[in-house]
Amino acid sequence: MSVLVVGSVAYDSVKTPFGEVDKALGGSATFFSAAASFLTDTQLVAVVGEDFDISDLDFLRERGVDLSGLDVVAGETFRWKGHYGYDLNEAKTLSTELNVFETFDPKLSEKQRKAEFVFLANILPELQLSVLDQVESPKFTVVDTMNLWIDTKAVELGEVLSRVDMVVINESEARQLAGEANTFRAIERIREMGPKFVVVKRGEYGALLSAHGNHFFAPAFPLESVFDPTGAGDTFGGGLVGTIARNGRFDEATLRQGVVVGSVLASFAVEKFSLDRMRTLKWSEVVARYQKMQALTRFDTLTIE
């Protein structure tokens, strides 16, 4: 089954303690699609300006991503500038230039309206709502967001949350959204806002899934060198929602598998700047790392009486 993603396709300028890049390919929908396309058919909906080099997305097209929903319009592509200190879990946004997103009004095609699995990647909540209005009868809808929209678009974001099945959110943003310092309480508050399933991303500490009345913790894959954490969250989302769509269901076992697939894919994404590692990644490498994650978290029944 296929996934529809709406989000940003961007040019990022990123500085980490290990180097910097300017005008590198980025965007929430780009990272998501690079990951989800390993698992399922992926349709991307976004907008870029005339300055965008479409050949930057050839690797996605080669992996079967349907880019017919990418509008190219007059103006400049969305730009994000971010900076990371030695704590790579927290990006500091230096600037966000919406540019062509200011006037973007996505019109879904017949095929896109029939999408069964929908990921509303981090982008203006109004655009997320417009997509929710147009999809006909999705089986499972997921939203990601960020502090900027929690601060500036609380009403619109609240409406999105009331209409989706799952939210995937950073731990600090979960606390901010819920107005709760404790993560588990924050999850409960967020659930009261609408989504039955809550996934909290905790950077190098992994991810926490709250679903079907249970909690599940997945660690992050232990990497010795993290180069650029940009896009880790969206890549994680692509692995998770891709797994759900591939299986066509969202029972607890599938969701747990999806969280681990997401963590594994994200661990590759952060090994190089921009989408560079995702361009060359092979599914066999993902499987090998998944197996290591399994070994890392397995423990026996307690035998001490």
Binding site for ligand AMP (CB under 6 A): 8, 10, 12, 26-28, 80, 96, 122-123, 146, 148, 230-234
Chain-centre distance for alpha carbon 218: 16
Residues 161, 195: contact at Cβ < 8 Å?
yes
Distance, C-alpha 142 to centroid of its chain: 10
Give the residue with the Cβ less far from ligand AMP, 152 or 291: 152
Q: What is the dihedral of CA 263, 38, 109, 194, to 10 degrees?
A: -20
Give the separation between CA 49 and CA 99, rounded to whole angstroms.
8
CB of 282 to ligand AMP, least distance (A): 22
Least Cβ distance, residue 64 to ligand AMP (angstroms): 22
Taking CB positions, which residue lies at the least distance from ligand AMP? 26
Distance of alpha carbon 119 from alpha carbon 139, whole angstroms? 11
Output 28 or 43, the one with its CB closest to ligand AMP: 28
Distance CA 252, CA 13 (A): 38
Closer of 139 and 158 to ligand AMP (Cβ): 158
Residue 203, C-beta contacts closer than 8 angstroms, at least 6 positions apart: 88, 89, 90, 170, 171, 220, 229, 232
Q: Which lies closer to ligand AMP via its Cβ, residue 165 or residue 234?
A: 234
Q: How far is the CB of 98 from ligand AMP (least distance, A)?
A: 8
Minimum Å gap between C-beta 3 and ligand AMP is: 17
Nearer residue to ligand AMP within complex by CB, 97 or 180: 97
